[in-house]
Structure 1
Amino acid sequence: MRITDDLSEYSFMGDFDTIVIGAGHAGCEAGLISARMGMKTLMLSMNLEAVAMMPCNPSIGGTGKGHLVCEVDALGGEMGINIDKTFIQSKMLNTSKGPAVHSLRAQADKNRYHLEMKKTIEDQENLFLKQAEVTDLIINDDGAVCGVVTKAMARYSCRTAVMATGTFLGGKIFIGDAAYSGGPSGLAASDELADNLYREGFPLRRFKTGTPARMLGRSLDYSKMKVQHGDDQIVPFSFMNEGRDIGGNRADCWLSYTNEDTHKIILDNIHRSAMYSGNITGVGPRYCPSIEDKVSRFRDRKRHQLFVEPEGLDTDEMYIQGMSTSLPEDVQESFYHTIPGLEHGEIVRPAYAIEYDCIDPLSLRPSLESKRVKNLFCAGQFNGSSGYEEAAAQGIIAGINSARKIQGMDPLVLRRDQAYIGVLIDDLVTKGTDEPYRILTSRAEYRLLLRQDNADQRLTPIGYAYGSVSQERYEKYLRKQQRISDEVDRLKHKRIDMASMQEFLREIGAPESRDNPCFFDLLKRPEVRYDYLERVDDETRPRLTRNEITEIEVEIKYAGYIEKQRSNVKKLRQMENRRLPENIDYGSIRGLRLEAVEKLNRIRPETVGQASRISGVNPADVNVLLIYLEKESRSRKVKGNDRPEADRCRD
């Protein structure tokens, strides 16, 4: 609604710097970081039970996603700290592969995760949490958001706002032929806000996601499944917990498989699935398909794996990972019961699909500010992404940039070579997405630079400079970097006698050396690990954390590859940083193809680098842009030189 509309019927309830609409994983990070940066911040949630709620899988992290959690943490966020408090099993994935794709994943106690995050929000200075359903934005004559109104006829004013509505916006639940308005986990949908955003002209579209059934743990036969233990040595998500004992694993997961009987029941009833009956119009996530999708698309596969995961320590509910569906309840009962270990499983929450409204992310700036409404920042599934971790990553950037907008300072925009967060946001606002977007390690061109272990090295100094990182965190980071630097320097100067070194190499099965290298050069060998050197190190070794050791090893062993990637980044950065005028008319630039003109005028990229990644803009178009900018630059220089000369003549 516009500020010129009649607002007299709404009770004025307070003035805030920032209002965060939604308290899911995006909203929590946005609200906390905004308050920590000194902004008086209001978080509004339709239901306080939805604060940091996990409506789908009971885990944080995973391939690519673990990188995002570590980056959120390095910028001063809360997700890593909260999962370290509430995990019940932790595991590092992809350890058989290179360090670039090592990804931490932790099973969460869902209820404890929610309660701990809610308590953190309640204890945060400058942050006010309230249960209320936002039904509309208030937009002033300048086209900037300046407040919100609620279903209870309350009005709040603000200077910036963050939209983080998750899957609540226009939410609709599907179970077979049953279809009704609803949000995740049995909560209500936000229908009025969706209608008003449509009316205001926001470019919204429908996406779909889903969740599997939950079963009663005591009704399952675990002897027919393969147990999945966590790691013996726990690696914390948060850099603030490095070197601390955060506890151990307190639960196991189990692996089982579908079979031909499962597939037959699904295929015989696939016409009853909301996905296949035509009831669902929204686009679902390609990388997280429903079980009927898997069975239908891969008919040659004899089985599909599924994981049975505990939802918490104080509940007997088990999450059936990999088995989301929109089939009716009776069909769910039938096919779940064909799976080894689940034959007598009691379903306590049926699987369902949910359709919801989200914005076209091409309508957002790289800062996550709306191009349509000033001072409105958007984050999470509202932006067309999927996943708790992707939501948190966008939430912290939206929160930082909403605060910096109030402070009159430049926004934080992370490059693709700086962070997976940079890859995620750049993909969304530059390329857009036709399905719920999920981060993948394959999306990052500079994976070796963007490792989990060095997220603080990449981002904590940036966060400190932009005001999101506390002094305590920054000083801890500096001490860590000093320890790493000191140890690398020691390794460069440390040697042992030739005979001892040859004996050491024989012991670990490594080829003998013709010279006597220092420990630094020894570590370049693939067979030599930092821990192995302790056998021949006669000096007192520093007490380093596992993360510090990993960082030392990777930087030494992969030095050549890392330097090559850094060199490529340096070459590309010059083009990346060439800014494009905001009011440029691409149709007036000779040489640009019609498709490029249409895409550039619609997306309005801020830099040449961003323009080069737009689908439909080819290298020839980029060259045309560079030539245009060079001509404009020369023209400005000529005009700039003419004026002083004319002034001198006139004087």
Structure 2
Amino acid sequence: MFQEVYDVIVVGAGHAGSEAAAAAANMGAKTLLVTMNLQTIGQMSCNPAMGGIAKGQIVREIDALGGFSGLVSDKTAIQFKMLNKSKGPAMWSPRVQSDRMRFAEEWRLMLERTPNLDFYQEMVGGLLIENNKVVGIKTSLGIHIKAKSVVLTNGTFLNGLIHIGEKQFGGGRAGESAAYGITEDLVAIGFNSGRMKTGTPPRVDGRSLDYSKMREEKGDEIPHKFSYLESSKPLQHQKSCWMTYTSETVHELLREGFDRSPMFNGRIQSTGPRYCPSIEDKINRFADKERHQLFVEPEGWDTVEVYVNGFSTSLPEEVQFKALRSVVGFENVKFFRPGYAIEYDYFPPTQLKHTLETKLVDGLFFAGQINGTTGYEEAASQGLMAGINAALKVQERDPFILKRDEAYIGVLIDDLITKGTEEPYRMFTSRAEFRTLLRQDNADQRLTPKGYAIGLASEERLKRMEYKFYESDKLVNYFKETSISPEEANPVLESKGSALMTQSDKMFKVFSRPQIDLEDIVLFDRVKNYIAENDLDQEIVEQAEIQVKYSGYIEKERNNADKLKRLEDLQIPEHFDYDKIKSMSIEAKEKLKKIRPVTVSQASRISGVSPSDVSVLLIYMGR
């Protein structure tokens, strides 16, 4: 059946696997995507949404590089919101509510339209490894498929175990079997593995809910979109979400089942996501809170299925049902399926290089939850990078690595391989020390030239990016060169409580005042006329406004990033002997020998390596 040797085999077709397969194939690598079920390609296993705080920036970065997640999200969105608009633009984070069925369908159709990509449905039961190099995979039917590189994106399927109350059964997702064999193969050749846990809430019948008792949550009046491509269009119509709350009554009903909760009776030993706790965990940890928010999210345009965001649980199904019926608006709720927790194998990511290739096995890459992360966006970005680097390795080209000041994707991967993780890793804006540089609005400027250079981003993307920043720079220069009179400016300044002007001044200086918001700049008649005369779209105007308002912060952060780059350029020899450094702490030596950082900058970010340890290292390197 499989006579040829593939350049890249991708195992798993979730968010990581789909992006990995698309990237490798679009870069010209002959690629095979192997999944246990072709009907669940791009499946949203948990909430029907893409983006959010920091996650939205990641989706825009994937799109800027030439990935598919932004395009799929835009095409299947039912609601758009730009979160954190009350804060500075470094915090703005796009999010869409998605149509779950159409999202998976669109992913499959886009992949089927991708040249160089083959598909095969079967469970992968192990790897073919010769002389510490991966040479293919073996399936549950005993078929051997040869490849020059393999990307593992197994999600929650590796020895997956589902918990509902005191019941437990093998599975990688509700209604789907777990995958066995790969963990055992990897551990046998020296990999360390661990267990993690995640959970999901019940899905309910929207026809059984009373929305009149809930608060309506509408999308933005003027919605944006994820993809920078012109072919991707913002939503014209949106579907509302809803909000309600738990209560003390609900909490008491939930507590009645705590003795049968796998979280509290010891059945689940592994660590769950800190920032997405189950409802039983929330009422246990935050016992002083009388209520918790529940977001009632429709699963699509036409389906009546509803996702109860905030009610993730593994309590017995009758406890879930009884408690949820005491929530306002849920008095007559009908279940589609109960919530559950799932335990699965992962491999601590300190066993990887920055390319996401494993240190132990040449040509083997890991991406997604197998690396200890949580979230569609985190998985998709790793899949993209693993697919890119697998293709580049086969093509004998230089690896593609993003630095911490270049992308949230760079922060994510550097955190994983440098610090590791003992709980499901989730991206936040606070994890990025250069978040003013890593905004959602400029991901195309940061990354599209890089994506184009490796053969992934199209020329259309590059030209659109160049036009956007050419026009926004022209608008900024117009502000710098054009004066505005007190008669023009004072009405707006007075309404904003800003000091009035007594003489004309440059627009740039006036618009830089802290009291003037981005929305205020387009209130000035001459600005409005300039935008209309030059037919500038919302993205161009927004980009120029950000450059005006935050130029000082951006410049300061760029200077800080440039200083740190000096340490990034200091390479540590591959076989450097840390034992010869007598004045370095024992903990630092152990961590450095285990992780083998490539640069001094990476060494400085390893937990347990102090500034004094870094100073000693620099001295031994002749610095």
The normalised TM-score by structure 2 is 0.97
| 1:113 corresponds to 2:134 | no
Aligned to 2:603: 611
Q: Per-residue displacement from partner, 1:45-79 (whole Å, max 9, x unpaired)?
A: 11012210001000000111101101111111100
Aligned 1:478-557 pairs, distance under 5 A = 478-503=466-491, 505-506=493-494, 510-526=498-514, 527=516, 529-534=520-525, 539=530, 541-557=533-549
Aligned to 1:219: 208
Q: 2:226 aligns with which of 232, 237, 250?
A: 237
Contact 1:207 1:436 in 2 (8 A): yes
| 1:158 corresponds to 2:150 | no
Contact 1:530 1:549 in 2 (8 A): no
Q: Which amino acid aligns with 2:137?
A: V
Q: 2:563 aligns with which of 554, 571, 589?
A: 571
RMSD: 1.6
Contact 1:20 1:44 in 2 (8 A): yes
Q: Per-residue displacement from partner, 1:320-346 (whole Å, max 9, x unpaired)?
A: 001111101111111111100111100
SS at 2:212 equivalent: helix
Distance 1:175 1:601 in 2: 42
Q: Which amino acid aligns with 1:64?
A: A
Contact 2:489 2:524 in 1 (8 A): no
Contact 2:488 2:524 in 1 (8 A): no
Aligned to 1:436: 424
TM-superposed CA distance for 1:571, in Å, is: 1.1
Aligned 1:252-401 pairs, distance under 5 A = 252-401=240-389
Q: 1:148 aligns with which of 137, 150, 156?
A: 137
Contact 2:27 2:455 in 1 (8 A): yes
Contact 2:476 2:547 in 1 (8 A): no
SS at 2:108 equivalent: helix
SS at 1:44 equivalent: strand
Contact 1:88 1:248 in 2 (8 A): no
Contact 1:91 1:106 in 2 (8 A): yes
Q: 1:25 aligns with which of 15, 20, 31?
A: 15
Q: Which amino acid aligns with 1:588?
A: K
Distance 1:121 1:562 in 2: 38
| 1:561 corresponds to 2:553 | yes
The range that moved more, 143-152 or 535-544, is 535-544
Contact 1:90 1:249 in 2 (8 A): no
Contact 2:522 2:528 in 1 (8 A): no
Distance 2:527 2:269 in 1: 65
SS at 2:457 equivalent: coil
The range that moved more, 566-575 or 196-205, is 196-205
Distance 1:569 1:245 in 2: 35
Q: 2:193 aligns with which of 204, 219, 222?
A: 204
SS at 2:312 equivalent: coil
Aligned to 1:646: none
Aligned to 2:126: 136
Q: Per-residue displacement from partner, 1:102-136 (whole Å, max 9, x unpaired)?
A: 11111100000000010000010011122121111
Distance 1:179 1:409 in 2: 47
Contact 2:10 2:33 in 1 (8 A): yes
| 1:445 corresponds to 2:433 | yes
Q: Per-residue displacement from partner, 1:495-542 (whole Å, max 9, x unpaired)?
A: 344543445544665422244222222221232533112356665542
- Shift in CA distance, 500/40, structure 1 to aligned 2, threshold 3 Å: same
Aligned to 1:77: 67
Distance 2:265 2:419 in 1: 31
TM-superposed CA distance for 1:272, in Å, is: 0.6
SS at 1:616 equivalent: coil
Q: Which runs of 5+ in 1 are unaligned?
A: 1-10, 632-651
Contact 1:40 1:127 in 2 (8 A): yes
Q: Percent identity?
A: 47
SS at 2:219 equivalent: coil
Distance 1:502 1:113 in 2: 49
Aligned to 2:34: 44
Aligned to 1:54: 44
Distance 2:202 2:120 in 1: 31
Count matched residues: 619
The range that moved more, 398-407 or 492-501, is 492-501
Aligned to 2:91: 101
| 1:409 corresponds to 2:400 | no
| 1:169 corresponds to 2:161 | no
Aligned to 2:589: 597
Q: 1:620 aligns with which of 586, 609, 612?
A: 612
Aligned to 1:641: none
Contact 1:60 1:106 in 2 (8 A): yes
SS at 2:181 equivalent: helix
Distance 1:113 1:547 in 2: 25
Distance 1:17 1:536 in 2: 53
Distance 1:515 1:598 in 2: 65
TM-superposed CA distance for 1:549, in Å, is: 1.8
The range that moved more, 218-227 or 464-473, is 464-473
Distance 1:333 1:152 in 2: 41
Larger radius of gyration: 1
TM-superposed CA distance for 1:14, in Å, is: 3.3
The range that moved more, 389-398 or 470-479, is 470-479
Q: Which amino acid aligns with 1:532?
A: L
Contact 2:229 2:461 in 1 (8 A): yes
Contact 1:20 1:164 in 2 (8 A): yes
- Shift in CA distance, 340/500, structure 1 to aligned 2, threshold 3 Å: closer
Q: Per-residue displacement from partner, 1:168-198 (whole Å, max 9, x unpaired)?
A: 1111110011111111131111022233233
Distance 2:207 2:449 in 1: 49
Distance 1:403 1:510 in 2: 55
The range that moved more, 588-597 or 361-370, is 588-597
The normalised TM-score by structure 1 is 0.92
SS at 2:264 equivalent: helix
